[in-house]
Structure 1
């Protein structure tokens, strides 16, 4: 009888532990998808914040040379201090999610967008291997030149078995990770930009930064990208 009671108690504890493990996993799945309602909520919060602060934006201070799409990150604590929001979106990095909330067009028409932090993590992981390689070699591990000043990455010398890619936040495509002459890594969005040029109405011409075609028409910004323009109807790297 005592043994049966102990066994039942043990199974009860196990069930509690398992249910405790499953719940966070369910929450984690929800935190890995963009949520239009959450985006709209924060968009309204940004607009309300501007009304209460004479046009200021609740953004974190970043260096001036920070790339445009990673520069204006939303400061949720500022929104809370103004009693505009009571909780941070579940899919936000600050709440255990995989997205950073950012603002584009801050001066003219502030819009709330998402940075997929899985891209950030993959770039960081490759940079670790890149730093190890650069400690022993003079030049970065250049692969084939894909455009003037841009190269594929020689993934084999970094210890990888396959070419370096990242899952696109826009589609099921795998986007190449490339580097410039200084060995800085970028995501090559030309596949998605080509699709966007055909999908969305636009008036972009040679010299315009067409990355905003993705940023303005989708929930995501093209993080870790080099500026692109349009030439002969196709996306090309914007050269100085």
Structure 2
């Protein structure tokens, strides 16, 4: 895909996540805490609402319309206007539409629709980088860390170094870029810890991201495939 076209598509997708009726951020400390945390009860409540809507609508899902080539992790955005108040009493406190940092989405929409979250902190960092790349026509590559994957020279891009707090741990995750100009979050640290701590049997060549999807409510959005090498070290598994 042409890099400029990809970046424009990415900006549209991120704008879709960040646009709409976002709530005020001048909330109380307690409200801000609720807006930052993942609450499994909220996820389950939205799941029940989605299932009830789907049953009543003859199989349709309460989702917003996006482009067909939108990243699979953010493709099926939940439209709360179709759920509240008939199927859901109120918006979750951490939903972006209420000022929170999570966009509620549907994962595996075709086979087993499951409510998941996308961390909008990552979306905002990606947007900052993509906007700068659009201005400069090409990302400022710094160091190659894998085939087709580079770190960014933030100084040349006129940006402070950017990272994203992991939705799975206390780690701060770097943002790197593909040779196609795709800014991505580097989840290798979290994946390595998961494999080591749980002694998970992984075959080289197998994408590791489903390990996160199965165990957490937050999706590994803005990423490329990862696998392990023969030494069980997590590595990028990406080809343009």
TM-score (norm 1): 0.80
In 2: Cα distance, 1:166 partner to 1:23 partner: 23
Aligned positions of 1:76-115 closer than 5 A: 76-80=80-84, 83-115=86-118
Aligned-residue Cα RMSD (Å) equals 2.3
C-alpha displacement at 1:32, in angstroms? 1.4
Structure scoring higher RCO (CA < 8 A, sep ≥ 6) equals 2
Aligned positions of 1:150-161 closer than 5 A: 150-160=149-159
Aligned residues of 2:49 and 2:83 also touching (Cα < 8 A): yes
Aligned residues of 1:60 and 1:75 also touching (Cα < 8 A): yes
C-alpha displacement at 1:164, in angstroms? 3.0
What do the CA deviations read for 1:119-142 (whole angstroms, capped 9, x no partner)? 1112112333333333xxxx4200
Residue 173 of structure 2: SS of its match in structure 1? strand
| Corresponding residue to 2:191 among 171, 193, 208 | 193
TM-score (norm 2): 0.80
| Corresponding residue to 2:67 among 40, 47, 63 | 63
In 2: Cα distance, 1:23 partner to 1:154 partner: 36
Unaligned runs of 5+ in 1: 1-20
Aligned residues of 1:153 and 1:164 also touching (Cα < 8 A): no
Q: How many residues are treated as equivalent by the alignment?
A: 214
| Corresponding residue to 1:33 among 37, 41, 61 | 37
Aligned residues of 1:140 and 1:182 also touching (Cα < 8 A): no
In 1: Cα distance, 2:199 partner to 2:67 partner: 33
In 2: Cα distance, 1:36 partner to 1:140 partner: 38
